[in-house]
Amino acid sequence: MALLETRKLTMRFGGLTAVSQFDCSVEPGQIVSIIGPNGAGKTTAFNAITGIYNPTEGSVTFEGREVRRPLRTLTVLAMGLIGLATGVTLMFF
């Protein structure tokens, strides 16, 4: 069983497809790298694998569990407070 696996990982931002149908399987103890030219989608794929981005399509599994970053109430509250603090700060400048 693969330690880390991506199946048909696709990331879209509006009309731009940054990663399309990316498949990868990493077995325990294996070292893998992603290479390619600038703009090929390496960082976007890495961000989707680590859970920073939720894939537009496809899946990422680690140790058999899907990698997803849940949006919690505390996260939403923190984002709102940061926005409020930024707005108040800008009011005085």
The lowest-confidence range among 14-18, 32-36, 87-91 is: 87-91
Assess contact for 55 and 5: CB atoms under 8 A: no
What are the tens digits of pLDDT across the range 45-90?
998 988 888 899 999 999 988 887 666 777 778 888 898 889 888 8
Q: Could you tell me the pTM of the whole model?
A: 0.67
Task: Using alpha carbons, list the distances in angstroms from residue 61 to 20, 35, 73, 89.
Answer: 17, 21, 24, 41
